[in-house]
Structure 1
């Protein structure tokens, strides 16, 4: 888990299963550390969800969380870990962890946070450490007065200047939480489409998958494949700033999809599988159909990172996933998969 809100529904599920869970947030990082600030894990008596980088830090944090599960009189702890001197980890930085014990008494605000997980936009999550208000409150980023991604406020609501201020003066921890990750519109369920869907299925990116062939419908890699009957309508149904990947079995269908995406204009990425010859033919037709040159120039074809060569479906899928990572940043590398695949990262 990273700096998004999808941990809240997982916390509710673990509370229902095990009675309580501990949310561990790596809130401050000084120097080198295995993961960045905002990374989270959830720990219950039987399961761990997510990772803060593994190694001795995660081991110690997990043991601390399990000790907290045995006590219902402790709501939170701030714990500092110098990775080199204390934990003998070679990265040698210093991290501060916030551990929060969650149980049935917390389901109200957890449900509210979970309901906001699919809302677009930048927000700031405030966690009160002094017990004077609701445990966590979500603010719109534009309404938050401070520019830091994470930090601590004192008891007078002022920003504490030190990166790791004394723990007894910390009244509030705040962290920016990122916008809803872009949707992937995947057109084509052949060998390459299946490989791409398989790779992306362990990412948090919401995926909408289409194919025009009835025999290819169903569910693969935990993703339902919808029947593509009207390409223009399918493109118009996409959310704004979506990532479009066009790789059907039919060049004419590819063209209609590509034209509709470029004409719509509000996409984050329009990728078309194929050769340089196919790209040239499509561009000529797009110009003949009066698609603006500014939109045509945003077409990416062939797709995939050029440094990763090869035509095998798995190779193409890895190259395309890397290309999407460049577009989306941390969203595609987060440790919490989409809900359909959550079971794959729960471990005893």
Structure 2
């Protein structure tokens, strides 16, 4: 290992230091599980402080050096986010969410022409003539944002999402649209409790209703919520 100051010699001006660790792995020495703690010097019994640190570290935490031991955790499992619709709001939300870590974004609309020319890196684009038919392919722990230009398609997607299951689901629209949707979803056989799991309207109304403002509010709710299920009291 080698500790390097983050100064002029490395053309850095932020201060502090970084510790570099070199390791060589082969088939026999590859770790089978994470988190893992190992000494950087001669083999020794694991100190209690290291054992506690390893137990406390969550997936995705940066590697830690403690008492001459290196502790590493697995990468977190990306939380699936399915965005239905590539209009102004859909594009704004994807542009905000795509650079953030920990999200696996699937973006659906009716045809390739609906999408921008450049799709953000890591985003899976799916053109589909019948988007609601794709709902069974979504993981049941996925977050969903329903943002299409067609109210009938929005309703079909809400119906499919309620039948399939989800971690959270947000629908773009006004209170009037949501009241109408609640009635129609109830007529399709969904309970009031289940329907109430869909958040509508979405975003933070105090930020405004421009697509970018809606995207900021939606992103904030998703980041704060983690994997918790979204409700209308905590709308996307």
TM-score (normalizing by structure 1): 0.51
Say yes or no: does 1:101 pair with 2:22: yes
Distance in 2 of aligned mates of 1:109 and 1:212: 49
Question: Match of 1:326, SS?
Answer: helix
> Any runs of at least 4 consecutive aligned residues in structure 1 with deviations exceeding 6 A, and if so which?
107-110, 161-164
Please say if residues 50 and 67 of structure 2, whose CA atoms lie closer than 8 Å, have aligned partners that are also in contact. no
Match of 2:155 in 1: 255
* Higher RCO structure (Cα 8 Å, ≥6 apart): 1
Please say if residues 124 and 174 of structure 1, whose CA atoms lie closer than 8 Å, have aligned partners that are also in contact. no
Distance in 1 of aligned mates of 2:14 and 2:86: 39
Distance in 2 of aligned mates of 1:323 and 1:284: 26
Say yes or no: does 1:324 pair with 2:227: no
Distance in 2 of aligned mates of 1:55 and 1:162: 32
Cα offsets for 1:114-162 (capped at 9, x unmatched): xx9xxxxxx74213124578xxxxxxxxxxxxxxxxxxxxx33352389
Give aligned pairs, total.
206
Aligned pairs for 1:199-210 (under 5 A) are 199-204=96-101, 205-210=103-108
Please say if residues 183 and 242 of structure 1, whose CA atoms lie closer than 8 Å, have aligned partners that are also in contact. yes
Cα offsets for 1:300-347 (capped at 9, x unmatched): 011113442x12111111111111111228xxxxxxxxxxxxxxxxxx
Match of 1:11 in 2: none
Match of 2:133 in 1: 233
Distance in 2 of aligned mates of 1:109 and 1:188: 48
RMSD: 3.6
Match of 1:188 in 2: 85
Change (3 A) 1:255 1:107: farther
